Structure 1
Amino acid sequence: MERIEELFGKHQSGKITKAELDELFLELEKADRTLLSKLTEKYLDAPVPSNLDQLHEPTENLLERINKQINSKQRRSILKLWYPWIAAAAALAGSLYFVYKYNSRDMISTTNEHAQVISDVAPGGKRATLTLADGRTIVLDNANTGQLAKVAGTVISKTSNGELIYQDQAPGSDEVQNNVVSIPRGGEYQLQLPDGTKVRLNAATKIEYPTRFTGAERRVVLTGEAYFEVTKDAKHPFIVETADQQIKVLGTHFNVNTYQADRTITTLEEGSVRVSSLRGTKQSQTISPGQQSVLFNGGLEVSSADMESALAWKNGMLFFRDAPLQTVLAEVSRWYDVDIQYNGKPTQELFTGSVARTSNLSAMLRILQLTGVKTKLVAARNSRKLIIEP
């Protein structure tokens, strides 16, 4: 690790020799997954080396060798970041040349009077809007910490770590109002419901819930994606209702994804849930930890889940395993708040890899570029667009 950092420092300062550059590449080939992960985290957004023009040729040759190695093993170009050669390229070689070649050295250059090429987009963050029953709205990312409102005997507050919490100060009261939390693209937020249930909300998500749970059940309505940590209460089941299904639990941890219009995916991490379709055959299935239900065209199927992929977002990662480009870019669009434009037919290649959600968009673009996907970022007025070139 120390020798690699020393060599990389020389590369960035422009003082590395050809022999040392060859040594750097050799060390990267021998590095294990743990080391490469650390290098990726530390150097993925490294500055442009001062003598880039002199160093780009051997770096490009390295990338060419890597791409040939991938294609010789698989016809589908699947990028696996934990393979040493690929990780090395993504963490260092790719960031030393490929991205710098792609990005203009100027942050913004004009393409026409309406749009500008931009070099990067910052990641999403804690952004949400609370809508009260009387129609008032509170932009939570701009709101001060402390009490935001008091409705029907329930105090609504924002904590110092940016969580929205509900505290029932009138137990036994039957007065209930419905609130809505909406998460825009490029946002996420955490909510604690009146019963103590915690809900983590992903980008482009909306949840509706009462200010106080009364009656025989605790019911919320969800569109988008959320991870629930439900407070146990055997006498009052917790129900998550979506457009085409409902999930009934007593106390458990699970993820619900309704992003795709034709399917709803429920992934269970602990406990037990009963999933029921509300249309078509109106099937019901009980799923166990490590399993996933998929509701598609009214049919309900249960299978073992890829937990790493399903829960990556709530663990702070953008993670894909054998995912089509359209799936990758749909998540990119939501998290980085960019529109996607395809110029030509999208590639049929599948992608596997991961990037921290705290990374700028350029980190994800580097991965796509290593598989031959050509991209361009432009901004016009209040929108940003990622163009996928043929």
Structure 2
Amino acid sequence: MISATTYQAASVVAPTIENHFIEQLATARLSSNQQVAPLPSAYVIEKVIDVAFWASLRREEGHVIKISLAYLSPEQTRLPVVFQQRLPLTPAILTKLAPGVERPGIHIGVWEEDGELYIWGTTRSIPSLSFVVDVSEPGLLVIKHRRLDGFGKYANVAVLKGDQVKLIDENSAALEDCPAFLTSLLGAEKPFTDVSANILIQLAVSMRAHKRGGSLLVVPAASEAWQASIIKPLLYAVEPSFSGLADLVKNKETEKAKGTWQETLKREVDALAGLTAIDGATIINDNYNLLAFGAKIGRAAGSKPVDELIVTEPIIGDTEKQLHPAQNGGTRHLSAAQFVHDQRDALGLVASQDGRFTIFSWSPCKQMVHAHLIDTLLL
């Protein structure tokens, strides 16, 4: 066990993260009778982050390590793999364990006794609101927790990259122009009872995962006005529209009854998100029918070029900026901003090759395009 914290960011963020879990757990105990996770103290948070950070900078047989640590005892999980002997929580031990636990969904179990933290084993099952530290890449840690409803992507609390600290600002969800699925990502509501929010979040995560960059346009099913902003001919138009994901949403109760909902949803989402890697934009309607991919965006006849947009990021301390679209990203970003400027009932989702992810929506309050930077929420 390391006795002194040497990663300064861990000391800085620990009290704030502790307060987050105090509030979340108190609310959960009032509103739900399900089992929730133990409260991590600032000491525990600081030490786990410190050890995870130094482990992230190591390599095991030349490979970068990717691990997830969860704070809970073996008694608070189902079917844990419990080691006969406790292991000390050190960067060296985490590095040795990493090759066997790097698959998604596996957590290294960490617990405390008499002021000492130790590794007791691994688990795939953790209680709601469990304190989790993901080592995503060297020097990059994501602090998150399992959602109260237990379904969907974990809610991010903070992202630490070297000396850069980003604390998620859940109050961003109070913005009048905040898109519904951004509100869901921020954990401001029980998001995954909202199927549409769930699907858009999974599409965003899948788009980001293929690391080729891409654009997804979401247009209203009841209108064809979006075609005025697409250059013709549309080489990869889909006629009739492909309804694999749409049909799954319509029949979700049947799939859930069969126990295949999540698996089938992931397959359909990944197939659709994969099309965004093709040059040009993928277009779906708000019923999730695939309309086209590889589409080239053009300025609608009679429309003015978009010359300014609002840029915000849902982290504490962020201030709203007004920028020219060219200052916010490359060609994909500029074309998606123009599309939303012309088609104000549409959404534009843009993934960059470097992992940046932006939602473009129209702001009725500001009467301009709003760019929401959300890559910190998708890690």
Q: TM-score, normalised by structure 2?
A: 0.25
More helix by share: 2
**Of the two, which has the highest radius of gyration?**
1
